[in-house]
Amino acid sequence: MTTTAPSAAASTAPGAAVLAVDGVQIYNHLQDTVTVESISFEVRPGRALGIVGESGSGKTITCRALLGILPELFEVSEGTITLAGRDTATLSRSEWTALRGTTISAVFQDPASYLNPSIPVGKQLAEILRVKKGQPRRAAKQNTIELLEKVRIHDPEYVYFQYPFELSGGMLQRVLIAAAVACEPQVLIADEATTALDVTVQAEILDLLTDLKDSLGLALIVVSHDLAVVAELCDEVLVMREGQVVEQGPTERVLYEPSHEYTRLLLDEHHRFGLERFLRKPEETA
Ligand SMILES: Nc1ncnc2c1ncn2[C@@H]1O[C@H](COP(=O)(O)OP(=O)(O)OP(=O)(O)O)[C@@H](O)[C@H]1O
Ligand SMILES: [Mg+2]
């Protein structure tokens, strides 16, 4: 993209963690319960962290805390989240708005629900560039077409004018990924981003995420029920259960030598579905 508009993104020293989560607890004031307990991790440019765990274990709530969009009555009650060198607890609402998209961004399941059904997808992407980056109409359109190419959409000039209902689930997820990386964020969260897609399309999207991570130097956080997804994409894994991190470490170690019974259970389930095809043996990576 060729823009000279000043970026709202905060900066990170080379090689430093772009996002550091330290001892974070997330409290639910509605039920007076701790939803997530003492979670810590770091992500660096060009690296990927996987978060796995059963439904309701707190994966999405954790991601929402990272994005500054916790549901009402949820609060980061302990610990710190440092995003591009800034303690997010100190951010005002407008500072958060400026950082979202430009420094940290996300894609979720069900891409159609994030798009306006009555506006062509290209125009919706161009609007992001106009609002967030101050690009004039013509440049925003040209850059949108480049973005659509970047997420490997063929015939982007044609797709630009298509409405969400005209596109498949895989295509819509590509459009949402394009929207998420439009303002060159440093961190991208993919929360069950491929769960609803069929296996072939899922593989294509995972491949695209890996490609973007490497080419744009994104720090990627991948949330999935599917250990195979995490095994394929991630350098490190964090296993959650009932709001607690039961295990975390390098992917090969966690998946080959799990030290927690729960991780072993998750692995047993997945071995039946051929996790091996995604795993490199530790000796191969040494
Ligand atoms: N918007 C919300 N309002 C109230 N409670 C919520 C909300 N979102 C999540 N919770 C609660 O917070 C806890 C953690 O939920 P979360 O969505 O983080 O789970 P998850 O690990 O992402 O599960 P899944 O794998 O099903 O997506 C659950 O007890 C859930 O009921
Ligand atoms: Mg979730």
pLDDT in tens, 146-173: 999 999 999 999 999 999 999 999 999 9
Question: H or E element: which one contains 18?
Answer: none
According to DSSP, residue 117 is labeled T
In a domain? residue 237: yes
Return the residue whose CA atom lies nearest to atom 8 of ligand 1: 61
What residues does ligand 1 touch, defined as CB less than 6 Å away? 35, 53, 55-61, 71, 225
User: Which pLDDT score, from 0 to 100, does residue 228 have?
Assistant: 83
**Structural contact between residues 263 and 246, judged by C-beta atoms closer than 8 angstroms:** yes
For residues 173 and 112, give the distance between their C-alpha atoms in angstroms, rounded to a whole number: 8
**What CATH number is associated with residue 210?**
3.40.50.300
In a domain, residue 154? The reply is no
Starting from the CA of residue 106, give the closest ligand.
Answer: 2
Pocket test for ligand 1, best of 26, 33, 35 (most atoms within 8 A of CB): 35
Whether 206 is in a domain gets the answer: yes
Number of domains into which the chain is organized = 1
Strand, helix or coil for residue 75: strand
Which parts of the chain register pLDDT below 70?
1-11, 14, 271-286
Instruction: Tell me if 62 is assigned to some domain.
Output: yes
Question: What is the CA angle 48-51-54, rounded to 5?
Answer: 160
Residue nearest to atom 28 of ligand 1 (CA): 56
The pLDDT value given to residue 262: 85
- Quick one: which atom of ligand 1 is closest to the CA of 243? 14
**Best residue among 60, 222, 229 to mutate for probing ligand 1, ranked by most atoms within 8 Å of CB:** 60
Q: Is residue 55 classed as helix, strand or coil in its secondary structure? A: coil
Is 136 part of a structural domain of the chain?
A: no
- CA Rg, the chain, in Å? 19
Compute CA distances 34 → 55, 166, 205, whole Å: 16, 43, 34
Q: Which domain holds residue 236?
A: 19-111+186-285
Examine residue 5 and state whether it is found in any structural domain, yes or no. Answer: no
- Residue 14 inside a domain? The answer is no
- In the structure encoding, which two tokens stand for residue 172, read together? 């819509």
Residue 166: inside a domain, yes or no?
A: no
